[in-house]
């Protein structure tokens, strides 16, 4: 498992964090959105530290 992949969504100009093929959600059905890639990468890195990186 990895912490996820940062993906840019051109429809709204925001970044998403995709984990195992599914956008990470804040609320059910509502993907977390980040204004910058750096913000999404920080969350991804935190998830990797919290859950470990098993690739």
pLDDT at 54: 57
pLDDT at 24: 95
- Cα distance between residue 28 and residue 41, in whole Å: 22
Task: Kindly give the parts of the chain with pLDDT less than 70.
Answer: 1, 53-55
* pTM, full prediction: 0.82
- Cα distance between residue 48 and residue 27, in whole Å: 21
């Amino acid at each position: 498992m990895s912490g996820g992949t940062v993906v840019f969504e051109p429809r709204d100009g925001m970044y998403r964090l995709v984990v195992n093929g599914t956008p990470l959600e804040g609320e059910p059905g509502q993907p977390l959105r980040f204004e910058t890639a750096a913000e999404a990468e920080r969350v991804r890195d935190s998830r990797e530290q919290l859950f470990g990186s098993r690739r």
